[in-house]
Structure 1
Amino acid sequence: MKRMSRGFGGLLAFVIAAALVIVWWRWSERPASTPPSEPSPLAIVATDANAATAHSSPPASSPQEQVAVPASADALKTPTNATTSAAASAESPPTGASTATPTRGPPERIDGLPVITLDELPPEALDTLALIERGGPFPFRQDGTIFQNRERRLPLKPAGYYREYTVITPGASTRGARRIVAGAGGELYYTDDHYASFRRIWKP
């Protein structure tokens, strides 16, 4: 009887020892657990920034909440085009209005003498001007001779500067009293009282 109890006790001690070995072996193979580390300050800052961004950004609007936009960009351009057209209409002259620069009229006096235009000259004076431009032939031998300017009615110039030409007087048997005096610089003077007075011929 004593042998049986001793055998049973030895077996029990062996089982307990084996169980302890198995528990120790399993416990030794488990990785050592590390205590949970506290989050770093940088991680906290990043987390706070992300949270602030998430709160500040507006939520995405649903398709029902989206505002409808014009189907064409022309609708936005219409006010500008209307304003531009109005400004262009205000600046442009009305249809049919003349935009030509008005012709400058002749001065009242040149070289201290009154002015006469081509339209105011008698037709015979225009004929004489045409002969002067062509260089003749002239109806009288005195035409083209030097005008002395003795009365000094014309601007003073060197001798030989002026030359005189006859303007025919209809019905007169002589040269009459009408003349055109031409200066070497292109000046033209008309007299109808035989040098008593002169008018400067205006040729625009």
Structure 2
Amino acid sequence: MKRAGRGSLVLALICLAAVVWLVVRTMAGGSEDGTAGAPAGETAPPSTFATFPSATPSASSAPATSAVPKPSPPPSRPSATPSPSPTPTPSVADTGPTGTDTRDWDGIDACRDSILPPELDEVADDVEDGGPFAYPGKDGSTFGNYEGYLPDERRGYYREYTVETPGLHHRGARRIITGGDARDPEVWYYTDDHYETFCEFAP
């Protein structure tokens, strides 16, 4: 009976040693792949070390520097001394025909300005421009000086032109008599009584 009891005890010890060996081997294999002690099918717990971002910011994360506008230059101040304005040249007013005695030897006096009508100026301008005239065929024709009131000159020297009288529907009695060139006369006479009297003027 003692031998049977010892045999059973030895067998039990051998079985216990085998179990211990298996447990130790299993634990040693699990520690090699980092999953020791974890049940099958479960993942290892996450690491307890927190990951912090780099202290040095990247170039893309740096804030953009806004462009600072340059101050505009101050406006220039006007000169304290104003530049003098040009002095306007006074224009010579056209006073129109005036009484002038250009031939003091002919015995004909200068016209009084008061008797020279406003219409005389326009006719004098037409004479110097060569026309047109109010009465073509009459104005610019030769004045014969048959009465001899004007100095004797060659035929064709004198020409006559009509100075119209407002309100009349015919030539009237007012005339200009010129002597010399047709457009640049040497002398100008005026009559307001149809060649009865003459006076001298300049246009």
TM range (shorter): 0.3 to 0.5
TM-score, normalising length: structure 2: 0.45
Q: Which has the higher helix share?
A: 1
TM-score, normalising length: structure 1: 0.45
